């Protein structure tokens, strides 16, 4: 894929800023979507591009993902200097002193109710399964044979979760999540922007919850939607492997400037 001229111009302006924050989503963006969620891994060209970018002066790298933090660390193998937000912003690793997520008693009870609600729905449908997360849970239907029935299962889960106090719903691709901590990728990106004193932010994502990340981008930032679907991002690439080309271009522009 040749980088379109409009995107390249935006990348040139972006790379000319002093301190850059490059944020990426994991599933469907750095990694291809797969039926077995535990088997997701970065597309090799993306892993290579992220490692390169992590070494560039003045560039801070961050994952902003819906995955639990520990799962993100295991599956994504982020470059060592990367900052990490997991669970859609509810969990963070911003250095060795980062506090882990702690639920209060009320949230812990709400999480148990979220999980039992989702398990009850999943148990009725072959192929549906529940991912347990530190801040809640997600019901997955990608392994179901009939995608239409899968969407109906997500509707059923949505209705059931509406009765659970404290459940914050996150929509996704063949998944529905409920977290008992209020958080968003937009809030995570804003926290990262401040922490890193970034002059400009790049964010790439593919999913519904990534739109909250695109929503906080400002003039001079670059938002990149990976794959099809409506988006607020100004730019798009067709598939995860194309992200590497954009990341390499940022690294190349910085190399030239130094």
In the complex, which residues of this chain contact ligand L263DTV3 (CB under 6 A)? Answer: 25-28, 33-35, 37, 40, 65-67, 131, 138, 140, 142, 172-175, 177, 207
Task: Specify the residue, 15 or 42, whose C-beta has the smaller distance to ligand L263DTV3.
Answer: 42
- Residue (78 or 200) nearer to ligand L263DTV3, CB: 78
Min dist CB 203 to ligand L263DTV3, Å, is: 12
Considering beta carbons, is residue 67 or 225 the nearer one to ligand L263DTV3?
67
Name the strands in the sheet holding 129-133, side by side, starting at the edge strand that comes first in the sequence. 129-133, 136-140, 175-179, 168-171
Q: Quick one: residue 69, left, alpha or beta (phi over 0 = left, psi -120 to 50 = alpha)? A: alpha
3-state secondary structure of 118: helix
In the complex, what is the shortest distance from the CB of residue 191 to ligand L263DTV3, in angstroms, rounded to a whole number? Answer: 16
Which residue, 35 or 108, is less far from ligand L263DTV3 as judged by CB? 35
Q: Report yes or no: 25 and 232 within 8 Å, Cβ to Cβ.
A: no
- The H or E element containing residue 72 is helix 69-76
* Number of residue whose CB is nearest ligand L263DTV3: 66
Interatomic CA distance for residues 11 and 220, integer angstroms:
9
Residue 46 near residue 28 (C-beta atoms within 8 A): no
Question: With respect to ligand L263DTV3, which residue has the nearer C-beta, 16 or 103?
Answer: 103
In the complex, least distance from residue 240 CB atom to ligand L263DTV3, rounded to whole angstroms:
10
Residues 25, 41: Cα–Cα separation, whole Å: 12
Closest CA to 35 of 110, 127, 102, 118: 127
How far apart are CB 71 and ligand L263DTV3 at their closest, in Å? Answer: 7
């Amino acid at each position: 894929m040749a980088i379109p001229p409009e995107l390249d111009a935006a990348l040139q302006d972006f790379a000319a800023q002093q301190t850059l924050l490059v944020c990426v989503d994991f599933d469907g963006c750095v990694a291809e979507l797969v039926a077995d969620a535990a088997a997701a891994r970065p597309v090799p060209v993306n892993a290579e591009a992220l490692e390169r970018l992590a070494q560039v002066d003045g560039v801070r790298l961050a994952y902003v993902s819906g995955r639990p933090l520990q799962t993100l660390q295991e599956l994504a193998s982020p470059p060592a200097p990367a900052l990490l937000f997991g669970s859609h912003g509810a969990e963070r690793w911003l250095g060795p002193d980062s506090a882990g997520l702690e639920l209060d008693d009320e949230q812990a009870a709400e999480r148990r109710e979220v999980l039992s609600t989702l398990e009850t729905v999943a148990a009725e449908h072959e192929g549906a399964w529940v991912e347990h997360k530190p801040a809640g849970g997600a019901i997955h239907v990608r392994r179901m044979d009939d995608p239409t029935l899968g969407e109906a299962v997500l509707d059923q889960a949505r209705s059931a979760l509406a009765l659970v106090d404290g459940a914050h719903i996150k929509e996704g691709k063949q998944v529905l999540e409920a977290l008992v901590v209020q958080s968003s990728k937009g809030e995570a990106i804003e926290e990262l922007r401040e922490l890193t004193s970034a002059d400009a932010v790049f964010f790439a994502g593919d999913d519904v919850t990534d739109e909250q990340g695109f929503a906080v981008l400002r003039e001079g930032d670059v938002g990149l939607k990976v794959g099809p679907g409506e988006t607020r991002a100004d730019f798009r690439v067709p598939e995860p492997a194309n992200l590497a080309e954009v990341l390499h271009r940022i690294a190349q522009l910085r190399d030239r400037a130094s």
